[in-house]
Amino acid sequence: MPVASLNDSEFDAAVAAGVCVVDFWATWCGPCRMMAPIFESVAAEMADRPVKFFRVDVDEAPASAGRFGVQSIPTLLVLKDGAEVDVSVGVTPPAKLRKMVEAALS
């Protein structure tokens, strides 16, 4: 499954069940543009695993970003059944992102 974009109205239903990784980003954010190919690559690598990858533009979904206290971007949030289990702020290396996902899946 490719990385899907979410807005505020879709967010809760999309992350309600299972393990989800959400990349909070913005089009004007340089580090976010650096994070995007890493996020897409890890999502593709883990396509056979029971995890969903989403991107949320903080300018288009301010309520979702605010609810999780996102103040700096990029922020990666790992959710399990809608609850936060891990977070990483800034450009996250692929190995760290994989480790975050594996921990949530175990």
Report the mean per-residue pLDDT for the chain: 95
pLDDT of residue 2: 79
Instruction: Determine which one of 22, 29, 79, 97 is catalytic.
Output: 29
Mean per-residue pLDDT for 6-27?
96
Tens-place pLDDT, residues 22-60 = 999 999 999 999 999 999 999 999 999 999 999 999 999
Which of the residues 15, 21, 32, 65 is marked catalytic? 32
Domains of the chain, by residue range, sit at 4-105
Q: Is 20 a catalytic residue?
A: no
CATH 3.10.450.50, applies to 4-105: no
**Cβ-Cβ contacts under 8 Å for 56 (sequence gap 6 or more):** 5, 6, 7, 11, 22, 23, 24, 25, 64, 65
Q: Which spans in 20-93 are helix H?
A: 30-45, 62-67
Respond yes or no: is residue 32 known to be catalytic: yes
Cα 42 to chain centroid distance, Å, stands at 11
pTM (two decimals):
0.94
**Structural tokens at position 49:** 């695993």
Given this model, what pLDDT does residue 8 score? 95
